[in-house]
């Protein structure tokens, strides 16, 4: 704009439309050229110093927090402070009419069309919107008037960054694993051991995360449930007045699997289909970073102790070559995607296509079974109605602690 103004103004006598070439939705990839036409309709002649087009991409973080500091009398008190961060990726300014220092001129009434183009850098991060900040790409048209507020019209467009997992395929093929041991009653009982793993670290939208959970419950306490969350974690970082950060968790999918009785051994498998999402990123943007994880929350009965295990994952926009997967893994992914028949190229999803499931998500594909090396403590009659993992749960049933207590 012509001056550093705090306000902008639109006009009912001016209409502005931004049309992207062969891309009505305005979705681009890093490295693409953004091109299109600006159409301005004036019902009557307008005086202005210039008509300017600005195209820019930037990240911004902002929030308020109370910080201890001296007041006017020198006393220490909590002061409301605004934390901010800003990072720019590219920007261009084009004047269709006039200039930022020229004399005012009159633009005649009618329809005026102006072509434009701009290249998005290869290193540009994906568009994001969060509670404490955002990454945005905007086309902004302004009629600059030095004596009044500028007339400003802006249209956002989306950018998807390119993240090919094959670049670091050795690391992406590594399995993830987490284990936790919990004792009860001051260690007077045998432990509860929970182990979780995935066969690899790197995934892409349309693929399946296979989570294996092994519950070795040697204790005298039942496990009443295990909650599995596949979630995205965005870290927002400020630059002024000091470096500070806020986290925002977005649960992509959440499931709860069954109860495991005391002194039982069980294994669960859970297949989680990855929907359309932005890739992991801790390099392209320094003030908004994105990572993914599978979190397991294990709730023992009659205990305030909760066990939390996390499996860090990397989500890319382009997956690993299918030839690197074990054949058994591919078969399970195809089954979870509803793809029957022999393996082959036909019916396979493209690397970045969204998964074929409805908005309410996939039903749980969890299945539970006894570990092969487990030995039942007593034979179970054929007509028993009690589930294998509920044995021994009946005699002692005091109240469970409320997790909100």
pLDDT by position in tens, the chain (length 405): 334 444 455 567 789 999 999 998 999 999 999 999 999 999 998 888 999 999 999 999 999 988 877 766 777 778 889 999 999 999 999 999 988 887 888 899 999 999 999 999 999 999 999 999 999 999 999 999 888 888 999 999 999 999 999 999 899 999 999 999 998 877 677 899 999 999 999 999 999 999 999 999 999 899 999 999 999 999 999 999 999 999 999 999 999 998 899 999 999 999 999 999 999 999 999 999 999 999 999 999 877 778 999 999 999 999 988 777 665 666 666 666 565 544 444 334 444 433 333 333 333 333 333 344 444 444 434 443 333 333 333 333 333 434 444
Q: Domain 14-160: which CATH class? A: mainly beta
> What confidence score (pLDDT) does residue 42 get?
92
Is it true that the peptide bond before 107 is cis, omega within 30 degrees of 0? no
Q: Which whole-number Å values give the CA distances from 222 to 176, 258, 365, in the listed order?
A: 26, 11, 23
Q: In the chain, where are the structural domains located? A: 14-160, 165-336
Give the span between the Cα atoms of 87 and 284, in whole angstroms: 10
Joined together, the tokens standing for residue 186 give: 């001051």
Joined together, the tokens standing for residue 131 give: 């509670």
Joined together, the tokens standing for residue 255 give: 């499931």
Query: 2.60.40.3880, 3.40.50.300, 2.60.40.640, 3.40.50.620: which CATH number matches 165-336?
Result: 2.60.40.640
Kindly write down the DSSP assignment for every residue of 310-357, as one continuous string. EEEEEE-SB---GGGS-HHHHHHHHHHTT--SS-SSTTPPPTTPPPS-
């Amino acid at each position: 704009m012509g001056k550093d103004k705090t306000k902008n103004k639109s006009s009912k006598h001016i209409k502005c439309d931004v049309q992207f070439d062969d891309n009505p939705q305005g979705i681009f990839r890093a490295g693409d050229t953004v091109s299109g036409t600006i159409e301005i309709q004036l019902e009557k002649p307008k005086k202005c110093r210039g008509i300017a087009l600005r195209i820019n991409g930037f990240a911004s973080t902002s929030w308020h927090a109370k910080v201890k500091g001296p007041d006017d009398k020198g006393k220490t008190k909590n002061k409301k402070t605004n934390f901010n961060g800003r990072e720019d990726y590219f920007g261009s300014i084009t004047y269709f009419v006039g200039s930022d220092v020229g004399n005012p001129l009159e633009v005649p009434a009618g329809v005026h069309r102006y072509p434009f183009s701009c290249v998005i850098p290869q290193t540009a991060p994906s568009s994001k919107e969060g509670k404490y900040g955002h990454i945005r790409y905007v086309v902004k048209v302004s009629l600059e008037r030095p004596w009044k507020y500028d007339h400003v019209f802006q249209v956002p467009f989306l950018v998807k960054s390119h993240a090919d997992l094959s670049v670091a395929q050795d690391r992406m093929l590594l399995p993830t694993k987490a284990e936790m041991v919990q004792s009860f009653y001051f260690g007077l009982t045998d432990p509860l051991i929970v182990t979780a793993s995935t066969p690899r670290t790197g995934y892409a939208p349309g693929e399946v995360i296979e989570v294996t959970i092994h519950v070795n419950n040697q204790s005298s306490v039942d496990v009443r449930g295990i909650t599995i969350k596949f979630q995205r974690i965005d870290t927002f970082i400020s630059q002024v007045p000091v470096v500070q950060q806020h986290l925002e968790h977005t649960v992509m999918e959440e499931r709860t699997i069954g109860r495991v009785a005391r002194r039982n051994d069980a294994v669960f498998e859970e297949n989680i289909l990855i929907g359309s999402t932005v890739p992991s990123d801790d390099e392209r943007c320094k003030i908004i970073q994105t990572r993914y994880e599978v979190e397991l929350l294990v709730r023992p009965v009659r205990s305030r102790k909760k066990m939390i295990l996390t499996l860090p994952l990397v989500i890319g926009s382009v997956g690993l070559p299918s030839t690197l997967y074990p054949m058994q893994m591919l078969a399970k992914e195809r089954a979870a995607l509803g793809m029957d028949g022999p393996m082959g190229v036909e019916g396979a999803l493209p690397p970045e296509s969204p998964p074929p499931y409805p908005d309410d998500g996939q039903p749980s594909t969890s299945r539970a079974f006894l570990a092969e090396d487990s030995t039942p403590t007593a034979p179970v009659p054929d007509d028993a109605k009690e589930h294998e993992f509920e044995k021994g749960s009946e005699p002692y049933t005091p109240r469970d602690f409320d997790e909100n207590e």
